[in-house]
Amino acid sequence: MLEGLANGLRWLGKRVNDRVWRLGFASRFLLMTLVYSGTALRRFFLTIREIYFTGVLSLIIILVSGLFVGMVLGLQGYDTLQRYGSSEALGVLVALSLVRELGPVVAALLFASRAGSAITAEIGLMKATEQLSAMEMMAVNPIARVVAPRFWAGVISMPLLAGLFSAMGVLGGYLVGVRLIGVDEGSFWSQMQASVDFSEDILNGVIKSFVFGIIVSWIAVFEGYDAEPTAEGVSGATTRTVVTSSLAILAADFILTAFMFRGT
Amino acid sequence: MTIPRGKVVAIMGISGGGKTTTLRLIGGQVRASSGTVLVDGQDVAGLQGKALYDLRRRMGMLFQFGALFTDMSVYDNVAFQMREHTDLPADLIHDLVMMKLHAVGLRGVADLMPSELSGGMARRVALARAVALDPMLIMYDEPFAGLDPISLSIIGELIRALNDALGASSIIVTHDVQESLKIVDYIYIVSGGRIVAEGTADDIRQSTAEYVHQFVWGEADGPVAFHYPASPYRDEIHAVAGHA
Amino acid sequence: MNRLTLDLWVGFFVAIGLASLGFLALKVGNLSGSSMSDTYRLEAKFDNIGGLKVRAPIKSAGVVVGRVAEIRFDSEGYVAVVRMQVDGRYKFPRDTFATILTSGLLGEQYVGFEVGGEQDVLKDGDVIKKTQSAVVLEKLISQFMFSKAAGDDAGKQ
């Protein structure tokens, strides 16, 4: 019986050890990416190209999701608020929910699934088909040429996508609340403007999406670079990107929210 | 192992014998735990960062299956090193790319993407890319793997022609005995991380050493056993061994 | 995908991204209304500040004229000291009344300035003498119950 317990602890210890070691490796990788970012910034076209693939191609999903989330907020919000006779506060509810939380978080989750997994798969496949090795042998640093532009593209795209998500959401809430249900248009906007503060709410939301962008981009490029150069390896890496990013985003969201919105 | 200037040398052996590792040692992608690797008099293991990259710029490598950059056209692939390492104007780069592609007979596919090429064509484009900056050392990792007979002899001829035209040294890691015997100056046969035989093409063909003989003439059984180590056959067959 | 098309799409993306952030900042938030360049400090002491928070608005005649900067507890007088930043464009007489009011019935609390008739104005660092504390709901209710009970007794007698 003791033997079994010892084995269990050994297994657990090994798993934790592996995770910690991998985290250390990933951190060093992030440092190298930042150090070698010179090329990505000097030859900005590389980064622009990646912004197209991560940001522009994510537009459709972000805009449509934002619209739908906003519309649902409008419906659900109205249903609850009108029970307390406060249906004019619908604008406030929709705007604050989006700008503070849903915009940054949901946009980041969508970004991780769409763009993050694509980045991981691309880098992983480049590793599997020896393209990264070939680049190394041609005296071009693959981290500078392949990894860094994708990392920065993700960091730049994320706040923009979150902003677009929130804006579309507000529009969706407006369409449902004012146009469909009939909440007063004037009070919808004026109460919203009175309650949503720039530095408290919007700026904090932007900071959040910036942090999420760093997290998702970091995980995506690392998993791709570290993937096993086989079919199963790449597929496992893309799954890990989506899962780890999502968990990290939600955890970071809690920490940031606790710091920013302490109820003062 | 010595590779003289201007010569084409083949490294042969069964899978897992250490051939590709040798190429990686020369290119500095792995570090030797003992012994030294000298390229043009410089110890590769001692080089870091910029010095290593400077050395690599004078080497060209053809990876197995080509390893072309799939997100760029054939033209961009061949022009890659020129754009990264030189400040040559676009016109000059255009002419150089066309020259390299012409040397491998593929000027017409310059605007295609790697996914649109056949295996043999991709290999040739990768060869054009490997010699883009006229390297002094060209390494080939299994250049003959998976090619049709025509492409096989084309690649073989190109390897020899390019080596002589550039005055470079070439190292071919391969399984293909017959094809390499036609073009190489010297051969090393490697097994289990050690050199088990070496010599010119004629030496190897006429060698009576068991291992060399098995390898060159493709014999099923010899020093490299046919059967993977296992328990005696009689014990595995339940009917004979009397198991339940 | 050539460079021109790529640049165009990326430019478009960045433009609408920034535009959406701008939209949020201006139309959804209150960016334009939160800039007060020149401010001066005033202090006021209250017995009970109720639910007043830092950054609560200071209004006079319903218009926002300043913000609450700091709320401290004075351990000598056992009162609350509220430090306020008032917009430099507006001057208030020395006998201004500072009251803690509630916006709506159950809304957030703010400081209201009601002006008197004095000539001299408050300067930077002055203390407002006349203050009215916040209305605490429990006290209101107990007051109501007490006066109702007294009224009943008076009625019965």
**B18, B31 Cβ separation under 8 angstroms:** no
For a pLDDT cut of 90, what percent of chain A falls above it?
A: 65
The closest CB to that of A129, out of B59, B61, B67, belongs to B67
A chain contacts of residue C55, beta-carbon cutoff 8 Å? 264
Q: Do C30 and A194 touch (CB under 8 A)?
A: yes
Q: Please, what is the average pLDDT of chain A?
A: 91
Which subunits sit against A, judged by 3+ Cβ pairs under 8 A? B, C
The closest CB to that of A163, out of C6, C20, C53, belongs to C20
State yes or no: pLDDT of A58 exceeds 80. yes
Q: Do A129 and B80 touch (CB under 8 A)?
A: no
Candidates A130, A133, A137, A145: best to mutate against B (most CBs of B within 10 A) is A137
State yes or no: pLDDT of C104 exceeds 80. no
Q: Residue A138 is encoded by which pair of tokens?
A: 């041609």
For a pLDDT cut of 90, what percent of chain B falls above it?
A: 16
A chain contacts of residue C59, beta-carbon cutoff 8 Å? none
The closest CB to that of A133, out of B57, B67, B84, belongs to B67
Average pLDDT of span A146-174 = 94
Q: Do B70 and A131 touch (CB under 8 A)?
A: yes
Q: How far apart are CA B12 and CA B2, in angstroms?
A: 15
pLDDT band at B226 (very low <50, low <70, confident <90, very high): confident
Q: What values do phi and psi take at A176, rounded to 5? A: -75, -50
Strands C109-114 and B194-199: unpaired
pLDDT at B87: 86
Average pLDDT of span A127-154 = 91
**A249, A143 Cβ separation under 8 angstroms:** no
State yes or no: pLDDT of C156 exceeds 70. no
In chain B, the residue whose alpha carbon lies closest to the alpha carbon of A137 is: B56
Q: How far apart are CA C25 and CA B167, in angstroms?
A: 66
CA distance C57 to chain A (A): 11
Q: How far apart are CA C52 and CA C69, in angstroms?
A: 11
For a pLDDT cut of 70, what percent of chain C falls above it?
A: 87
- For C42-88, what is each residue's pLDDT tens digit? 888 888 888 787 778 888 888 888 888 888 888 888 888 988 888 88
Average pLDDT of span A227-245 = 93
- For B62-73, what is each residue's pLDDT tens digit? 988 888 999 889
B chain contacts of residue A139, beta-carbon cutoff 8 Å? 52-54, 56-57, 81, 84-85
CA distance C7 to chain A (A): 7
Q: What sign for the dihedral angle of Cα C1, C4, C7, C8?
A: negative
In chain C, the residue whose alpha carbon lies closest to the alpha carbon of A47 is: C10
Domain ranges of chain C: 1-35, 36-142
B242: left (phi over 0), alpha (psi -120 to 50) or beta: left
**Sheet with C39-46, side-by-side order of all strands:** C126-128, C39-46, C79-87, C63-74, C57-60, C109-114, C97-102, C130-132
Average pLDDT of span A114-139 = 92
The closest CB to that of C25, out of A49, A159, A198, belongs to A198
A chain contacts of residue C14, beta-carbon cutoff 8 Å? 51, 156, 160
Candidates B21, B23, B26, B71: best to mutate against A (most CBs of A within 10 A) is B71
Q: Please, what is the average pLDDT of chain C?
A: 82
pLDDT at A67: 96
ipTM score of complex: 0.79
Query: Quick one: which H or E segment has residue C101?
Result: strand C97-102
Candidates A45, A48, A62, A157: best to mutate against C (most CBs of C within 10 A) is A48
pLDDT band at A264 (very low <50, low <70, confident <90, very high): very low
Q: How far apart are CA A248 and CA A216, in angstroms?
A: 8
C chain contacts of residue A57, beta-carbon cutoff 8 Å? none
For a pLDDT cut of 70, what percent of chain B falls above it?
A: 97
Q: How far apart are CA B194 and CA B74, in angstroms?
A: 38
pLDDT at C155: 61
Q: Is pLDDT larger for residue A52 or for residue C52?
A: A52
* CA nearest neighbour of A196 among A75, A94, A107: A94
pLDDT band at B17 (very low <50, low <70, confident <90, very high): low
State yes or no: pLDDT of B182 exceeds 90. no
State yes or no: pLDDT of A89 exceeds 60. yes
Which residue type does B41 have? Answer: G
Cα first-last separation, chain B: 56
Q: How far apart are CA A161 and CA A167, in angstroms?
A: 10
| Domains parsed from chain B with CATH numbers | 8-208 (3.40.50.300)
Interface of B with A (CB under 8 A): 27, 29, 52-54, 56-57, 59, 61, 63-65, 67-70, 80-81, 84-85
pLDDT at A195: 78
Q: Please, what is the average pLDDT of chain B?
A: 84
**B82, B118 Cβ separation under 8 angstroms:** no
Candidates B63, B77, B78: best to mutate against A (most CBs of A within 10 A) is B63
Most confident of A2-6, A26-30, C48-52, C90-94: A26-30
State yes or no: pLDDT of B90 exceeds 60. yes
CA distance C25 to chain A (A): 6
Which residue type does B216 have? Answer: V
pLDDT at C1: 59
The closest CB to that of C21, out of A189, A201, A206, belongs to A206
Average pLDDT of span B95-111 = 90
Q: Do C17 and A161 touch (CB under 8 A)?
A: yes
Average pLDDT of span A95-107 = 93
Domain ranges of chain A: 45-260
Interface of A with C (CB under 8 A): 45, 48-49, 51-52, 55-56, 59, 95, 99, 156-157, 159-161, 163-164, 166-168, 170, 189, 192-194, 196-199, 201-202, 206, 264
* R_g over Cα of chain A: 22
Side-chain-side CA neighbours of residue A144 (13 Å): 14
